[in-house]
């Protein structure tokens, strides 16, 4: 999808919302259409547990590999059972939860995890003496402007100031960054039943990427909510899975 003469709004719509409406917009469990909020969260967690169990039983893996000094800074690494000729692509997934819990590198993030993946677009890798071989980004139902979060109940745990939010908002910073590789695709995806604020954030971030010369695309996936959209990655024939595999192996 291409942008054609559509500019960003002068004032973000969320600034005109009541506190109650803003809270409603940023609680994805209130926007599920098939299940109640509590059941949706239980189902989402259970699907993740079961899919992880299947992956560990099926693929070679290294579990709980530390990537930092914090107790929760660990990741699981899965390998193909048959060694490929040459280097294999590397796909890294950042899970959501409002930040509380090879041949090429592909970053995928969901919800708050999409924000973390998008922050990699802003990194000045020369400061670290490395040039990562980033080949693709998949940003699923993400939050790219953190300022609204300051005024929601999520900030009880996050304790973001306005300065914190603005400094860590890809939407506000990405235009200042020169893409290291304009051929690197950035796919911004949102679910049909995500809240209007999630739709706005995804669409406006996509527009900003396009205006900055990034190879960005935007997709709205039909008939899925905030949780179902990422659950489809457990299905090899789902639309999202196919889009990711097409990008990785093209």
Catalytic positions are 111, 194, 226
Q: Facing residues of 190 across strands?
A: 220
Query: Cβ neighbours of residue 146 under 8 Å, at least 6 residues apart?
Result: 115, 160, 164, 165, 166, 168, 169
Distance CA 166, CA 150 (A): 10
The token pair that represents 216 in the structure block: 């960005």
Q: Residues 122, 170: contact at Cβ < 8 Å?
A: yes
Phi, psi of 120 (to 5 degrees): -65, -20
Q: Residues 80, 88: contact at Cβ < 8 Å?
A: yes
Relative to beta strand 74-79, strand 60-66 is antiparallel
């Amino acid at each position: 999808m291409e942008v054609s003469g559509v500019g960003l709004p002068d004032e973000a719509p969320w600034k005109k919302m009541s506190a109650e409406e803003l809270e409603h917009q940023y609680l994805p469990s209130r926007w599920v259409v098939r299940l109640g909020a509590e059941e949706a969260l239980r189902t989402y967690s259970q699907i993740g547990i079961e899919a992880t169990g299947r992956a560990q039983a099926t693929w070679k893996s290294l579990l709980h590999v530390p990537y930092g000094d914090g107790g929760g800074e660990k990741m699981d690494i899965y390998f193909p059972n048959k060694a490929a000729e040459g280097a294999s692509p590397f796909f890294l997934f950042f899970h959501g939860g409002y930040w509380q819990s090879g041949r090429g590198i592909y970053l995928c993030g969901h919800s708050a995890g999409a924000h973390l993946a998008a922050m990699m677009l802003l990194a000045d890798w020369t400061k670290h003496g490395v040039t990562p071989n980033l080949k693709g980004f998949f940003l699923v139902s993400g939050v790219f402007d953190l300022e609204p979060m300051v005024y929601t109940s999520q900030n009880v745990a996050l304790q973001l100031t306005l300065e914190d939010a603005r400094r860590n908002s890809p939407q506000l910073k990405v235009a200042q960054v020169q893409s290291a590789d304009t051929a690197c695709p950035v796919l911004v995806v949102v679910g049909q039943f995500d809240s209007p604020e999630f739709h706005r954030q995804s669409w406006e971030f996509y527009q900003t990427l396009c205006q900055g010369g990034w190879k960005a695309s935007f997709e709205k996936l039909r008939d899925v909510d905030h949780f179902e959209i990422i659950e489809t990655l457990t299905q090899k024939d789902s639309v999202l899975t196919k889009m990711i595999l097409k990008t990785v192996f093209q």
